[in-house]
A and B are shown apart, each in its own frame.
Chain A
């Protein structure tokens, strides 16, 4: 089954304790991205990657790191989590066809709910 898999789905941690949220896709998608969802703010893009070793900042990158060493994986790293990073996180991927093709539809993971105390 074509899917984006995120782990963990739920996590409670404490301020300053480094954590990694993994994201893996099995669709051979070039494009991968991370979002956080907060009430009243919708989804905001944290980082995205156009391909292996190609990443760029989204709208809210502060406090996060990413890496894209393999095409299928795009982990999100919180080096020193703070309470304002408590949120619902989504990973998503898509093909990267150019020319306005509808195949650039994002497929989302199930989400990871993170609480930082």
Chain B
């Protein structure tokens, strides 16, 4: 089974509208972290937001929020008031073993290409 699944290869959103990018994950590790990264066409990886498995509240960072539903194993990224500069590839990632003395593997999803329409 895929550890991180992003089912939307591409999405369009109107400027100033909100958009939700889906991410589901699979792990038996009780201690893990979920991340979202943005990759613009220039290629760099930009960290957006983080959610720990034990965090009670959904993470927020400016216009980004993470809708964390632990029982459903989903960690959707919500971008409010989309801007043209939000057009990019978005990756969901999971880091396992956060509390262990052993490995800390990181798994990325296949990404969602978001295009913001003026």
Contact = CB atoms under 8 A, between A and B. Distances in A.
A37 to B, nearest CB: 8
Interface string B3-24: 0101000000000000000000
Interface residues on B, range: 20 to 34
A98 B100 CA distance: 7
Contacts of A35: 108
A108 B37 CA distance: 10
Contacts of B111: 42
Interface stretch (A18-26, A76-84, A99-107): A99-107
Interface in A34-53: 35, 40-45, 48, 50
A27 interface: no
Contacts of A105: 35, 47, 50
Contacts of B104: 31, 48, 50, 96, 104
Contacts, number: 74
Interface of A: 31, 33, 35, 40-45, 48, 50, 56, 58-59, 88, 90, 92, 96, 98-102, 104-108, 110-111
16 contacts: A31-B104, A45-B108, A48-B106, A50-B103, A50-B104, A58-B105, A59-B105, A96-B104, A99-B98, A100-B52, A100-B53, A100-B98, A102-B33, A105-B35, A111-B43, A111-B45
Interface of B: 4, 6, 31, 33, 35, 37, 43-45, 47, 50, 52-55, 91, 93, 95, 98-100, 103-111
